[in-house]
Amino acid sequence: MKLTLSSDDRQFQEEVRDFLNDNLTPTLRRAGALMTSVFADFEAAMAWQRILHEKKGWAAPSWPEAFGGTGWSITRHYIYAVETAAADAPRLLPMGLDMCGPCLIGKGSTAQQQTYLPPMLSGDHFWCQGYSEPQSGSDLASLKLRAERDGDHYVLNGSKIWTTYAHHASHMFLLVRTRSDGKPQQGITFLLLDMKTPGLTVDPIISISGEHEQNQVFFEDVRVPVSNVVGQENDGWSVAKYLLEFERGGQAYSPRLHVSLQKVRHLASQGHAGERAIDDELFRLKLARAEVNVRAVEAAELKVMSALEGGQNPGAISSMLKIIGSEAAQHITELAVEALGPYNQVWQPAALDPKQAGDVTPVGPAGGVPVLSTYLNTRATTIYGGSNEIQRNIIAKMVLGL
């Protein structure tokens, strides 16, 4: 699929560029450039979301217009993704805007949509995802967090783990077990939860690099109204699968992959210890292979975007996109480490902090500061959101009928 820009689309492209130039402060650009995982600096991401929402209504471009989206064509969605990636705009945090929001639009009640979607757009509510448990990762059907019915409430006991940004969240969407008999998938319910509810404890999980993104959340007699069920009781598995299609295939990998590849070429063209990686024929072959992979990701993304615009959910192609997008990202980070040469092992956390980076002189090229941390963080992309092994099983079942 090839996109050709009309005069109106070129005008829109200029509008996006002008807006980014006028509103992306040096601090926000630095936060975007120093991203080492799929999650931008929290404060920067939320500040940028509020700017987008208040000035342009662009916080959730893919939502239907009736719920605060833009009504953009496929081409304009792609233009926007390309321009924001090229400008190093902070990536908006996806749990609400890209996951729970589309799920509520497709599966939630009118009351839930009216209550939760407007503050999700404005940034007044920030969401986290309660899926994984200590013994239930990609195999979500084995989850054990228990929700016992007590009148018009559920009483929750158990824990969730790897809960990204739960320490910042005002709300959580989560899966709970409401029935233990029968198939495991048939006893799961999808709930919405206020994080101020009594009985919740959020314990930080600090990474070896000192970053605090993940948490474990404990539930002790936490009471959640039955009205917070999305869909039907014991049918949360179908709701979760619907949401996971947006988690796995709702983001655009290729614009940022293209930018990342450009940065690798720049690093490789610089001399480190008297050598340039770009002069090595094998390295150039690796770059060419990476370019082919990125273009394959781009083609798959355009197909997903077309399905979404036509009112369809992405289906099994979202699993394919998750596989090829995450593996292409890993390949590019490997090339970046190779291109950086002897500077790739320098540990300089102050230079990675958007709040301090402007006052710190980095060791080695400035563009190389996030390389190793990005490489390490990207190892997880083939695991979270359902491991790539799980995605291949989904494709085998839904597409090949195996």
Do 222 and 274 fall into the same domain? Answer: no
* Residue-level pLDDT at 275: 82
Distance, CA of 292 to CA of 313 (rounded, Å): 27
Do 282 and 165 fall into the same domain? Answer: no
Do 195 and 276 fall into the same domain? Answer: no
Q: Is 209 helix (H, G, I), strand (E, B) or coil?
A: coil
Domain finish residue from 75, 92, 109:
92
> Tokens representing 55?
């000035």
Do 222 and 261 fall into the same domain? Answer: no
- Cα-based distances in Å from 310 to 75, 82, 304: 14, 22, 10
Do 200 and 140 fall into the same domain? Answer: yes
120 belongs to a structural domain: no
* Residue-level pLDDT at 249: 47
Do 219 and 266 fall into the same domain? Answer: no
pLDDT beyond 70 at 264: yes
Do 257 and 388 fall into the same domain? Answer: yes
Model confidence at 387, pLDDT cuts 50, 70, 90, reads confident
Q: What is the CATH number of the domain that holds 230?
A: 2.40.110.10
Domain finish residue from 39, 66, 92:
92
* Residue-level pLDDT at 209: 67
> Tokens representing 235?
């049918």
Judging by beta carbons within 10 Å of its beta carbon (0-12, 13-18, 19+), is residue 309 exposed, middle or buried?
A: middle
- Alpha helix (H) residue ranges in 310-402: 317-340, 349-352, 371-378, 388-398
User: pLDDT per residue over 196-252, tens digit each?
Assistant: 999 999 999 988 767 788 999 999 999 999 999 999 999 999 998 888 766 554 567
Distance, CA of 136 to CA of 268 (rounded, Å): 41
> Domain total for the chain?
3
Domain containing 64: what range? 7-92
Spatial contact of 219 and 156, defined as CB atoms under 8 Å apart: yes
> Cβ of 379: how many Cβ atoms within 10 Å?
10
246 belongs to a structural domain: no
Q: What is the CATH number of the domain that holds 284?
A: 1.20.140.10
Show Cβ contacts of residue 264 under 8 Å, excluding neighbours closer than 6 positions.
287, 290, 332, 335, 336, 339
Distance, CA of 126 to CA of 130 (rounded, Å): 13
User: pLDDT per residue over 274-293, tens digit each?
Assistant: 789 999 999 999 999 999 99
Quote the mean pLDDT of the chain. 89
The residues assigned a catalytic role are 247
Do 287 and 371 fall into the same domain? Answer: yes
74 belongs to a structural domain: yes
Domain finish residue from 181, 204, 239:
239
> Tokens representing 13?
């492209």
2 belongs to a structural domain: no
Residue 220's identity, in one-letter code, is: E
> Cβ of 59: how many Cβ atoms within 10 Å?
24
Predicted TM-score of the model (pTM): 0.83
Do 145 and 218 fall into the same domain? Answer: yes
Do 266 and 376 fall into the same domain? Answer: yes
57 belongs to a structural domain: yes
Do 86 and 134 fall into the same domain? Answer: no
28 belongs to a structural domain: yes
1 belongs to a structural domain: no
Residues of the chain with pLDDT > 70: what percent? Answer: 93
Do 203 and 336 fall into the same domain? Answer: no
68 belongs to a structural domain: yes
